Amino acid sequence: MNDEPATEEPATELDIGLAKVCFVIALAREFDSQTPLDERGDDDDDDPELADVPQSPAYQELVQFLSGLNRDESSALVALVWLGRDDYGAEDYPDLLEQAREQSGGDPVTYLTGVPLLADHLENALSALDLICEGMDSEHG
């Protein structure tokens, strides 16, 4: 990080493009609109892992996109979720990012798709970092 004030770029390095975060928010919102929280994971099928996997196109697209992220980008999303839960302040983001990187044992795709209100948490985190997704929902480069 440099010590110069940012003009258009955020002062905090996200380790993931803002457009990618905004795309995840858009996909998560679409999934949320198709699958109410009380209908997720309550199927009592014989295979509990398969029973919890929603088959909506929005969910599948979200999983596919998240699966294509590199480790740093996945860690950044996890850290943003933690920040967006309002347990931390923007100044804690570098520490959260480091913690997320160190937790390499779990599957970030499974974790992120299992977070209720994923889009809200990500938006809250961006807001805490003075970032917005305006006009970026459909881009993910």
Q: What is the pLDDT of residues 89-128, one digit of tens each?
A: 999 999 999 999 998 668 899 999 999 999 999 999 999 9
Which residue in 40, 42, 25 sits closest to 125, CA to CA? 25
Q: Kindly give, in sequence order, each residue whose CB lies less than 8 Å from that of residue 123, ignoring residues fewer than 6 positions away.
A: 25, 84, 133
Q: Which two tokens stand for residue 55?
A: 């088959």
Q: Enter the pTM of the model.
A: 0.77
How much is the pLDDT for 34?
75
d(CA 141, CA 123): 18
Please report which confidence band the pLDDT of residue 47 belongs to, taking 50, 70 and 90 as the band edges.
Answer: very low
- Residues, the chain, total? 141
* Nearest alpha carbon to residue 100 among 121, 120, 78: 78
